[in-house]
């Protein structure tokens, strides 16, 4: 016995697929994605990726970070990527030292409704750089509270 498939069901499935593909590519359209791809598996680098239930308490859908030794070549690559990506971002905080970004906190425009995207970057005194990309429903104020303000 064959059942007749509704055109609305097919349309819904296609829209769902398109939405999930757009979400998967939200970071890929950023220049910083090349940092994760190029240095993520190199010796001396530490990359962390979270998604799903691990992020539910933070109202995030995706978290990706990399900490790596900060030499001249990497510095140039990271600086170029940050400069390009921040053109589309709303700067929240940035510290520039000797002409280069030593720390930055940027909120990017929504790729989808109700999704906030963030880039965080900081160079450490130990010669390392940390780059973080996050996306989800968490707004800027909530993010700052969760990251920097300890509960009493």
Q: Read off the pLDDT of residues 124-145 as tens digits, 9 standing for 90 and up.
A: 999 999 999 998 887 777 777 7
Q: Where are the domains of the chain?
A: 31-148
Which is nearest to 131 in space by CA: 58, 80, 56?
A: 80
User: Cα Rg for the chain, rounded, in angstroms?
Assistant: 18
- β-strand 100-108 against 116-123: which pairing, if any? antiparallel
Write down the pLDDT at residue 22.
Answer: 39
Q: Read off the pLDDT of residues 102-113 as tens digits, 9 standing for 90 and up.
A: 999 999 987 666
What number of residues does the chain have?
152
pLDDT beyond 70 at 8: no
Average pLDDT, the chain: 79
CATH number belonging to domain 31-148? 3.40.1000
Cβ-contact 14, 5 below 8 angstroms:
no
How far separated are the first and last CA of the chain, in Å rounded?
63
Q: Region 68-74: what's the mean pLDDT?
A: 90
- C-alpha atoms less than 13 angstroms from C-alpha of 105 in its C-beta half-sphere: 8
């Amino acid at each position: 016995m064959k059942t007749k498939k509704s055109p609305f069901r097919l349309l819904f499935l296609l829209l769902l697929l398109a939405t999930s593909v757009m979400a998967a590519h939200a970071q890929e359209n950023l220049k910083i994605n090349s940092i994760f791809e190029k240095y993520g598996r190199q010796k001396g680098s530490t990359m962390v990726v979270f998604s799903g239930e691990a992020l539910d308490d933070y109202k995030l859908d995706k978290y990706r970070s990399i900490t790596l030794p900060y030499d001249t070549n990497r510095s140039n690559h990271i600086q170029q990527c940050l400069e390009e990506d921040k053109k589309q971002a709303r700067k929240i905080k940035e510290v520039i030292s000797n002409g280069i970004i030593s720390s930055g906190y940027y909120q990017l425009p929504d790729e989808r409704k109700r999704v906030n995207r963030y880039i965080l970057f900081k160079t450490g005194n130990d010669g390392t750089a940390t780059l973080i990309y996050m996306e989800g429903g968490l707004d800027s104020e909530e993010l700052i509270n969760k990251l920097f303000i300890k509960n009493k």
